[in-house]
A and B are shown apart, each in its own frame.
Chain A
């Protein structure tokens, strides 16, 4: 596959927004893959953490926005704990969620959350779930 690198893509306003919200600089990632190795949900992500970083380094925001990675991240911070560069992919994924949610688009509809879960789950799961998935 041919990869075209263009300044207007890798420094696009979308990338700048992700960098501003997440507080992370994409280029600091040197693609060692330790985040993906440590991430407990890599197996379920369409793009594991290190690939999210790579796609963003290449300016390919749309593919990253389409992938399920941001919604499957559990926020466990293993990626950050293991990253030799001190990058928090967790912050990048949360920034992506925030960018979606701040536009008022919900990922989860409250009425679709299963009733047995609402009845028996610890309150913290409900509060946290709403914060992560609902605008």
Chain B
């Protein structure tokens, strides 16, 4: 029987990043598991409060967790921010009895923190295994130099998240290797893209995301792979300035890891949402002979 995994999409994957959601569900089915969307869920708040006294901000994610617990003992997410918020909130509720009482009081629940919060990448690594993933590959991404951009939320703080080494993570690279691509290491892969400053400080965002892009490209990247819709947005948007300022810079596609996952395991190319990307991946796929056609 197909393994079913309870799944929390979050707001962004239900709206501007629909392709991230659809490609992940489709890839799961092809690999042999099913992402089963939670029956009841709400926005996680998209921010884990950085001060320990701000408990009211934990009520939204706590509500997600409490409802998810009624449907099973795990919950899986795709968005790095949802993952960070849910996993950290869960830890607070599990480890701190006093805070648990206060938070449960806010949301009228008796949730105890017994859920395990997983990222889709962890499902691939720990429940499926990258060796098995490799066997599922039908369209190897041979010759593609792909930079894996972790950003902040998938990694920090290490003691709460612990998906991988916080300074030298490899989970993303290992997934890409299984898909046949050549991972590119680069200094800025764990540096911030500028995050929510996209709202009122595009100068800082363009600088930070620009640094990520140039650092990746200078190390040979032809493609950037990420797991956060906000990183994806900032990295794409920042390239306009790079194109103006850096002679020879023409823009690099920034895609969700599930899009390349789907590509590699043989999904119909027209279902992968590549047309939504500001810088198209298609010329690269043609050049490498992965998809037939011309630029």
Contacts and interface: CB of A to CB of B under 8 A. Distances in A.
Interface SS of chain A: helix
Interface string A68-82: 000010111110110
B16 A123 contact: yes
B192 A81 contact: no
Interface in B11-57: 11-12, 15-17, 43, 45-47, 49-54, 57
A10 interface: no
Q: Which of B17, B51, B201 has the most CB of A within 10 A?
A: B51
Given A40-B208, A41-B204, A124-B10, A91 B50 contact: yes
B249 interface: no
Given A76-B152, A108-B199, A108-B200, A123 B47 contact: no
B196 A128 contact: yes
A122 B47 contact: no
Contacts of A117: 198-199
Nearest to B79: A124
B196 A129 contact: yes
A44 interface: yes
Contact of B81 (A108, A124, A133): A124
Nearest to B43: A127
A109 B48 CA distance: 22
Nearest to B194: A74
Contact of B54 (A41, A76, A98, A113): A98
B91 interface: no
B196 A74 contact: yes
Interface in B55-92: 57, 79, 81-82
Contact of A80 (B15, B157, B194): B157
A127 B198 contact: no
Interface string B175-197: 00000000000000001101111
B50 A75 contact: yes
Contacts of B47: 75, 127-128, 131-132
Contact of A122 (B43, B192, B203, B229): B229
B152 A77 contact: yes
Contacts of B230: 121-122, 124-125, 128
Interface residues of B, number: 45
B282 interface: no
A77 B45 CA distance: 18
Interface in A79-128: 80-81, 88, 90-91, 93-95, 98, 108, 113, 117, 120-128
A21 interface: yes
A18 to B, nearest CB: 10
B254 to A, nearest CB: 13
B199 A125 contact: yes
Nearest to B190: A78
B199 A113 contact: yes
B11 A133 contact: no
Q: Which of A20, A40, A41, A129 has the most CB of B within 10 A?
A: A40
B53 A21 contact: yes
A23 B51 contact: yes
Residue picked from A74, A90, A108, A131, most chain B C-beta under 10 Å:
A74
B192 A74 contact: yes
9 contacts: A22-B52, A41-B208, A75-B50, A98-B51, A121-B233, A123-B11, A124-B230, A125-B233, A127-B11
Interface of B: 10-12, 15-17, 43, 45-47, 49-54, 57, 79, 81-82, 152, 156-158, 166-167, 191-192, 194-201, 203-204, 207-208, 211, 229-230, 232-233
Given A74-B192, A74-B194, 4 more contacts: A22-B52, A75-B196, A77-B157, A124-B82
